[in-house]
């Protein structure tokens, strides 16, 4: 009978698990912030060298990132970051809208009074930053923290898991919005978002589930209103210029 392989020590198993999660988290951060741009290739060998690990945890990390939808794993080649696609961005925003509506509805029924008070303070933080800057990525960071807090207080782990995943992809595609685009708008979209957030907060405090659901959807809808124009501007800039036709020389 052939010798059985030695059992992997628990510490080594934990290290391997930690490695793939650390690598996946780093790759997600790089992709979301566009340090690794859409459509780019990520080579397994390069990532293994970067983190000084074997290829096994890198492959597992690729799988985790692919499960979110940020990359496609191609055997023998590595992973390729998703490209910005109009239909896919619409789908993500619609999913985000629906999930956030569900979470806010549940939060209005399950959030404690103390948690509702904390929500008021968090919304005030968003209002302050909306007035202080037009930097959409600062707005989104605060907004995502509020959304995550509401999801936590909704005590709906499956909804929170789905919402967190969709929010990651939404944050990634949000990078199509340039600062110049926002500065050219007559009114900062975040100011309207702040108003909706305050109404949403009041609805959750008042235990108005239907209203909370509707306002949550309106909040994401406000983002959709200007995102589509920003996306069109981005895609126009990515389009390949038509090849110039060569003029035949006269003989």
Give pTM, 2 decimals. Answer: 0.84
State pLDDT tens for residues 67-125.
Answer: 999 999 998 889 999 999 999 999 999 999 999 999 999 999 999 999 999 999 999 99
Do 225 and 193 lie in one domain? The reply is yes
Give residue-wise pLDDT tens across range 193-216: 999 999 999 999 999 999 999 999
Task: Judge if 106 and 17 occupy the same domain.
Answer: no
Mean predicted lDDT score pLDDT of the chain = 89
The CATH number of the domain holding residue 111 is: 1.20.120.530
Instruction: Report how far residue 156's alpha carbon sits from residue 4's, in angstroms, rounded to the nearest whole number.
Output: 44
Asked if the structure places residue 214 within a domain, the reply is: yes
Q: Which domain holds residue 55?
A: 12-81
Domain contains 120: yes
According to the model, what pLDDT value does residue 183 have? 84
Last residue of a domain, one of 58, 81, 104: 81
pLDDT at residue 9 is higher than 70: no
| pLDDT at site 240 | 57
Token pair recorded at residue 196: 């909706």
Residue 2 pLDDT greater than 90, yes or no = no
Secondary structure class of 25 (helix, strand, coil): helix
What is the rounded (10 degree) CA torsion for 192, 198, 202, 204?
Answer: 80
């Amino acid at each position: 009978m052939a010798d059985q392989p030695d059992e992997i020590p628990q510490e080594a198993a934990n290290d391997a698990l930690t490695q793939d999660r650390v690598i996946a988290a780093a790759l997600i951060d790089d992709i979301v912030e566009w340090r690794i741009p859409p459509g780019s290739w990520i080579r397994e060998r390069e990532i293994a060298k970067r983190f000084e690990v074997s290829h096994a945890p890198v492959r597992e990390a690729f799988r985790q990132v692919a499960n979110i939808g940020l990359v496609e794993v191609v055997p023998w080649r590595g992973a390729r970051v998703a490209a910005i696609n109009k239909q896919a961005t619409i789908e993500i925003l619609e999913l985000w809208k629906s999930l956030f509506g569900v979470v806010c509805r549940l939060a209005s029924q399950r959030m404690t009074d103390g948690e509702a008070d904390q929500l008021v303070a968090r919304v005030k933080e968003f209002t302050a930053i909306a007035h202080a800057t037009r930097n959409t990525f600062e707005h989104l960071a605060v907004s995502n923290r509020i959304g995550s807090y509401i999801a936590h207080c909704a005590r709906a782990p499956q909804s929170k898991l789905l919402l967190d995943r969709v929010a990651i992809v939404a944050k990634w595609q949000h990078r199509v919005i340039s600062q110049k685009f926002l500065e050219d708008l007559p009114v900062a979209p975040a100011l309207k978002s702040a108003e909706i957030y305050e109404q949403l907060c009041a609805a959750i405090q008042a235990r108005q589930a239907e209203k909370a659901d509707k306002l949550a959807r309106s909040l994401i809808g406000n983002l959709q209103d200007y995102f589509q124009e920003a996306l069109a501007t981005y895609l126009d800039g990515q389009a390949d210029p038509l090849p110039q036709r060569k003029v035949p020389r006269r003989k």
